[in-house]
Amino acid sequence: MIDLTQTPAWTALKSHYDEVKDLHMRDMFAEDEQRFEGFSAHLGDILLDYSKNRITEETFRLLMDLARQAGVERWRDKMYSGEVINSTEGRSVLHVALRNRSNTPVMVDGEDVMPKVNAVLAHMRDFSDRVRSGEWRGYNGERIKSIINIGIGGSDLGPKVVCESMKPYAQRGLKAYFVSNADATHLVETLKMVEPESTLFIISSKSFTTQETMLNAHSARKWFVDLVGNEKAISSHFVAVSTNVEAAKKFGIDPANVFEFWDWVGGRYSLWSAIGLPIALYLGMDHFEALLEGAHQMDRHFYETPLEKNMPVILALLGIWYNNFFDAQSHAIMPYSQYLERLPAYLQQLDMESNGKTIDRTGNRVNYLTGPIIWGESGTNGQHAFFQLLHQGTKPVPSDFLIPALSQNPLGMHHRVLFSNCLAQTRALMLGKKYTEAVAEMKAQGMGHEQIEDVIAHKVFDGNKPSNTIIFKKLSPRTLGSILAMYEHKVFVQGIIWNINSFDQWGVEYGKVLAGQIQEDLADPVDVSHHDSSTNGLINYRKWVYFDPLNHE
């Protein structure tokens, strides 16, 4: 077994860290007027500015050595060529094939998968066109006005972030809802907003066995049948997206309305597959294809561009620099765009479910940190919630700021205010405020010596807090596709360097098994004692309330 922390590239970075850890970005900017030019990369209209990072040219070179040592290019080629790189599940990892707009053959088990991919896209176009044009009608001839996607995890977060971000492109009069939670409130509150006659349900589940999704799907079907009083009407109002076509049919979905995808598409990488059906319905297939085009552009960039100019590779290496050498525990995502409000939640699953691993690809426990905690909030809201900790807290939090140069809603001064706040934050995080500057500022405000002495320590900012800024012209389907694919490849590169399998999720499976056992315990009023005392106590409390109506108030 090779110990990553003892490899030449890692040890070189470790000693380099000791040399540069106290350098301040403020000085680096002062010494090099070309720092922005040197530390920025672009693709199409997307510009990545990574100059506000605690790196020198030497750091950058050593990080690239680490990527080469890990064989990032070799692993990327394996992924693109359909090799079984998801070793614990014995699967290829081919979300790139779903958006392979050049249509070059992509082989899985000796078969080119592109004809299948294109057939499903054609099915999605036909169906979404018919619904959007009003040719597809509900059982009593009403037009479809509401789409409810029932799914969870990758079968929810991806289509949801795209539909919410792309509202300006949506068809008027069509609403998209997403129901995921096992808490009935999610379904019940959503159903209050719609009429059965004009609602289309999409049951989205790769496995078609996920408990929450099946529960919501059955409850939605019951609600529908109870209201319309006609089982046959189901075929006009329920469609499914799954790799498990048989189970979808068993649920009662007309086989013609089951949209297929394949086990070489990971759940959290599936929005580009038929799981994107809500996107195609809400935005139209042309916009869904523009999203695929954008992702394909990023796929090509990742494949063709030297590592030094490769945006996902650069982001991945910077993440590793902070995660493994500065011991940063988390990474914040700050979209300065209300439309991208759900991006942090989407990236949480993408990153944390992929790289939240302790065992490496050879089955050994790692002795270094792997995936960071991903969190964040849209700007400017986050500024008034947690930015204080970023500026003056004790924890290093590297972050990504995303911002469009043009707003979809050019209203008065709004975008200028939004934009200036975004840049002000990254600048303040980088620069900080020196003692002398703080004193001068307070003197200028007319404060006396004693007053200044009292508060000066609180007015000084260390700065030197790293951030990336990702700026693009306007939030279009194409740009969004590129951004989401950029993060997918970033996560991939980090997984390769940490030598983990980014494509399984065994931890999630364990929770599902325990939930099944507890569910059985909850069925009768007799107290349980076979779990740990905490779990017993909580189960028995619920029994005490639930089984005795006197305790319901």
Judged by beta carbon, residue 130 or residue 218, the one nearer ligand F6P is 218
Judged by beta carbon, residue 510 or residue 546, the one nearer ligand F6P is 510
Task: Pick the catalytic residue from 21, 250, 474, 512.
Answer: 512
Q: Is 278 in the site for ligand F6P (CB under 6 A)?
A: no
- Exposed e or buried b for every residue in 228-251, given b needs 16+ CB within 10 A? beeeebbebbbbbbbbbbebbbeb
**Beta strand ranges found along 212-335 (DSSP E):** 238-242, 258-260, 330-335
DSSP assignment of 176-245: EEEE--SSHHHHHHHHTT--GGGEEEEEE-SSS--HHHHHHHHHHHHHHHHHH--GGGHHHHEEEEES-H
> Which position among 52, 95, 206, 221 is part of the footprint of ligand F6P (CB under 6 A)?
206
- The token duo for 449 is 């010596």
DSSP assignment of 3-36: -GGGSHHHHHHHHHHHHHTT--HHHHHHH-TTHH
Cα atoms in the Cβ-side hemisphere of radius 13 Å centred on 39: 27
Per-residue x/- mask for ligand F6P, residues 504 to 523, rule CB under 6 A?
Answer: -x--x---------------
Per-residue x/- mask for ligand F6P, residues 232 to 271, rule CB under 6 A?
Answer: -----------------------------------xx---
Q: Is 502 in the site for ligand F6P (CB under 6 A)?
A: no
CB of 157 to ligand F6P, least distance (A): 8
Q: Tell me which residue of 348, 307, 385 sits closest to 67, measured CA to CA.
A: 307
Q: Is 404 in the site for ligand F6P (CB under 6 A)?
A: no
Judged by beta carbon, residue 213 or residue 499, the one nearer ligand F6P is 213
CB of 270 to ligand F6P, least distance (A): 7
The residue range among 147-155, 164-172, 249-257, 536-544 that interacts with ligand F6P, by the rule CB under 6 A, is 147-155
CB of 156 to ligand F6P, least distance (A): 8
Q: Tell me which residue of 345, 339, 312 sits closest to 96, measured CA to CA.
A: 312
- The token duo for 458 is 């609180």
Q: Is 154 in the site for ligand F6P (CB under 6 A)?
A: yes
CB of 181 to ligand F6P, least distance (A): 13
C-alpha 46/C-alpha 371 separation (Å) is: 25
Give the amino acid at 154: G
Helix (H) or strand (E) holding 43: strand 40-43
C-alpha 6/C-alpha 269 separation (Å) is: 33
Beta bridge partners of 188: none
Q: Is 155 in the site for ligand F6P (CB under 6 A)?
A: yes
Task: Pick the catalytic residue from 164, 197, 212, 353.
Answer: 353
> Which position among 82, 153, 379, 481 is part of the footprint of ligand F6P (CB under 6 A)?
153
Q: Tell me which residue of 40, 39, 43 sits closest to 299, measured CA to CA.
A: 43
Known active-site residue 512: yes
- Contact call for residues 147 and 177 (beta carbons, < 8 A): yes
CB of 250 to ligand F6P, least distance (A): 15
Q: Is 213 in the site for ligand F6P (CB under 6 A)?
A: yes
CB of 154 to ligand F6P, least distance (A): 3
Q: Is 210 in the site for ligand F6P (CB under 6 A)?
A: yes
The residue range among 146-154, 172-180, 475-483, 541-549 that interacts with ligand F6P, by the rule CB under 6 A, is 146-154
- Exposed e or buried b for every residue in 25-58, given b needs 16+ CB within 10 A? beebbeeeeebeeebbbebeebbbbbbbbbbbee
Task: Pick the catalytic residue from 384, 414, 449, 473.
Answer: 384
- Contact call for residues 365 and 505 (beta carbons, < 8 A): no
The residue range among 28-36, 99-107, 206-214, 333-341 that interacts with ligand F6P, by the rule CB under 6 A, is 206-214
For residue 269, with 0-12 CB atoms within 10 Å meaning exposed, 13-18 middle and 19 or more buried, which class applies?
Answer: buried
Per-residue x/- mask for ligand F6P, residues 174 to 193, rule CB under 6 A?
Answer: --------------------
CB of 323 to ligand F6P, least distance (A): 22
Judged by beta carbon, residue 152 or residue 491, the one nearer ligand F6P is 152
- Contact call for residues 130 and 182 (beta carbons, < 8 A): no
Count of residues interacting with ligand F6P (CB under 6 A): 14
* Positions in 304-323 near ligand F6P (CB under 6 A): none
Q: Is 466 in the site for ligand F6P (CB under 6 A)?
A: no
The residue range among 201-209, 287-295, 329-337, 360-368 that interacts with ligand F6P, by the rule CB under 6 A, is 201-209
Q: Is 297 in the site for ligand F6P (CB under 6 A)?
A: no
CB of 107 to ligand F6P, least distance (A): 25
Per-residue x/- mask for ligand F6P, residues 331 to 370, rule CB under 6 A?
Answer: ----------------------x-----------------
- Contact call for residues 53 and 81 (beta carbons, < 8 A): no
Judged by beta carbon, residue 211 or residue 551, the one nearer ligand F6P is 211
Known active-site residue 450: no
C-alpha 13/C-alpha 503 separation (Å) is: 27
Known active-site residue 357: no
Task: Note the residues at the interface with ligand F6P (CB under 6 A).
Answer: 152-155, 205-207, 210, 213, 267-268, 353, 505, 508
What are the catalytic residues? Answer: 353, 384, 512
